[in-house]
Amino acid sequence: MSKPQSPSLNADPNTISALYRVFSQNISDPRNPIYIQYDMGIFLVVLLLARLAGLTEAIKIKQYWEQHRKELEEILNDPDASQVPSSQTIRRLQTILNTEELEKFYAGYFTIGKDSDSQESEPLQKRHIIGYDGQNLNGCNISIVDPDNPDSIKQIQQYDIVSFFDCSNKICLAQTTVEKKNQEAAVLSKMLELVDVNGSIVTWDAINTRPGTVQQIIDAGADYLVCVKHNQSLLVEAAETAFNSQDQIFIQDNLISGDEIIYGHGRLEHKQIYILPADCVLDKELARKWKSVNSVIMVRTSKSFIRAGESTQPTTEDRYYISSLVPDTTEPNYAKSILHAIIARWGIETAHNRIDLLFGQDGLMLRNPKYVKNQSFFTKMALSIIGNVREALPYVRSNIKPTYTAISACCGYDPAAAVALARAYFNHDLSYIYEQDIFYRFDVLPKKDEPKDDPERELREHPAPEIFPGDSPLEKYMRARRNKKR
């Protein structure tokens, strides 16, 4: 996957009308035309605007629609937008959508543009880091009496949303839903059909580290940098033996190392990274089983907390990783680049946490598997819009960006704010945000009476997110509309 290219979508400011048409053209309406009362395109646009406001439950979406029906009618320029469906209808319309169409629509319109060029020739620090992980929906779990212990309650995990997440650009690339926890490895091949990972570096949890899964990444044209734990005990034992070897001369001749100190949120971490070629660690049997492994990595983290101005006693933890990347002894910053890639993987965990906090996904008590799958796509759409616009916005205070909650609150208070957010995202133009006073009142933008650089300078210093390349489906559609107007 290549780095994003510069799109030119700002020629059509009426993004909401365009989004309505794109929804209508790409997501089919399975209802019988005779009985249709609510326009599907309008429903999908309002659903996305409500999701930007952090609303996931059908009853709250209905209340949002009722409260802002006049504004929504003006935004969509359609009197049908004032017709508010019941909460049961809102839930049913999400359930009957074609899940495969939603998957393709999301991958085509809400992800980073890709071309056929590989990133393998680019410096390591410029290659995309793609996280692969699953997120369990705890609210969907079922509690039953444990048959082995009648006095205890057993939780049965129902659904797991598996995602590819671009940690470099902080955007979800694709997702699917499985009905059991820890099934990420089983659906990896399906996910690779939705996302072009060519030239990227793919990372994941130790639970997915298997010879078959890493080979799928190699076959897709990417490299991997994945954690190993005691589910692959032979690998861990070999790594521990090598890095604790008494043969210091042998280790020093082949070792690449680096370190970094990270401070934040009252926590001080000293991370040391050590990299060895695979042939210095793996015996013949392991090398035959893990053919694509070219390097073995140890990260030693010493962690302490700052309390009342004093540091607590540090604790030390060692983690081990394997990678298809060949160690480069000629690159002075190679070890730090690998360390940054390992740290970047936590971007997907941060995204999962934000989804739970902002949208309350973990608390949704859902049972219909198709509804679970479909509604989560709109959550990821909203997260992509909020997250990317937030990254492009100026700092509210020194080194502090506006919070996700503040941006979402603006969208809930005024649909015009949600529209401005969508327009800023799709048109790559922050002027839509600067035009809305509500963003100043909710501390999304610096107060007008505070010293602040002009918007043009902010746009230069904090460029809008580059999401779509010139040959993306949305750009082709918008270009065709512009040419037709001429």
The model's pLDDT over 211-224, given as tens digits with 9 standing for 90+, comes to 999 999 999 999 99
The confidence score (pLDDT) of residue 218 equals 94
Nearest CA-CA partner of 273 in 229, 243, 247: 243
**Structural domain boundaries of the chain?**
15-108+400-485, 229-327
Q: How far apart are CA 80 and CA 73, in angstroms?
A: 7
Residues present in the chain in total: 486
Q: Answer for the pair 454, 410: CB distance below 8 angstroms, yes or no.
A: no
Name beta bridge partners: 225: 323
Q: How far apart are CA 442 and CA 408, in angstroms?
A: 10
Return the sign of the alpha-carbon dihedral for residues 346, 347, 348, 350: positive
Q: Answer for the pair 112, 130: CB distance below 8 angstroms, yes or no.
A: no
Chain segment 87-132, per-residue pLDDT in tens: 999 999 999 999 888 888 887 777 654 444 444 557 787 888 999 8
Lookup: tokens for 363:
């608390």
Q: How far apart are CA 76 and CA 80, in angstroms?
A: 9
The confidence score (pLDDT) of residue 6 equals 29
Q: Answer for the pair 169, 384: CB distance below 8 angstroms, yes or no.
A: no
With a CB cutoff of 8 Å and minimum separation 6, the contacts of 194 are 103, 104, 107, 164, 173, 174, 176
CA 419 vs. chain centroid, Å, equals 22
DSSP state of 156: E
Phi, psi of 85 (to 5 degrees): -75, 160
Per-residue pLDDT of the chain (486 residues), as tens digits, is 333 332 333 334 456 778 888 888 889 999 888 888 899 999 999 999 999 999 988 999 999 999 998 988 888 888 888 899 999 999 999 999 998 888 888 877 776 544 444 445 577 878 889 998 887 776 665 554 455 665 665 555 567 788 888 887 778 888 887 766 667 777 888 888 888 888 899 999 888 899 999 999 999 999 999 999 988 889 999 998 888 875 665 666 788 888 888 887 778 888 999 999 998 889 899 999 999 999 999 999 998 888 777 778 888 999 999 999 999 888 888 999 999 999 888 888 888 788 877 887 766 666 677 888 888 889 888 988 898 888 888 888 777 889 999 999 999 999 999 999 988 888 888 889 999 999 998 889 987 665 544 544 444 444 444 433 444 455 555 556 556 555
Q: Rg of the Cα trace of the chain?
A: 24
The confidence score (pLDDT) of residue 463 equals 46
Which 3 state secondary structure label does DSSP give 178?
Answer: strand
Nearest CA-CA partner of 221 in 190, 196, 191, 189: 196
Q: How far apart are CA 402 and CA 351, in angstroms?
A: 16
Q: Answer for the pair 423, 13: CB distance below 8 angstroms, yes or no.
A: yes
Q: How far apart are CA 264 and CA 346, in angstroms?
A: 15
- CA dist list (Å): 18 to 12, 98, 349, 426, 481: 8, 21, 33, 10, 9
The confidence score (pLDDT) of residue 306 equals 81
Please report, as a single letter, which amino acid is at residue 64: Y
Q: Answer for the pair 425, 383: CB distance below 8 angstroms, yes or no.
A: no
Dihedral, 125, 390, 24, 72 alpha carbons, nearest 10 = 180
Which 3 state secondary structure label does DSSP give 328?
Answer: coil
Q: Answer for the pair 211, 168: CB distance below 8 angstroms, yes or no.
A: no
With a CB cutoff of 8 Å and minimum separation 6, the contacts of 107 are 173, 174, 194, 195
Q: Strands 223-228 and 201-204: what pairing?
A: parallel
The confidence score (pLDDT) of residue 242 equals 87
The confidence score (pLDDT) of residue 148 equals 62
Which 3 state secondary structure label does DSSP give 57?
Answer: coil
The confidence score (pLDDT) of residue 1 equals 35
Q: How far apart are CA 446 and CA 395, in angstroms?
A: 8
Q: Answer for the pair 289, 306: CB distance below 8 angstroms, yes or no.
A: no
Nearest CA-CA partner of 379 in 197, 161, 189: 161
- This prediction has a pTM of 0.76
Q: Answer for the pair 431, 446: CB distance below 8 angstroms, yes or no.
A: no
Number of H helices, E strands in the chain: 20, 12
Which 3 state secondary structure label does DSSP give 395?
Answer: coil
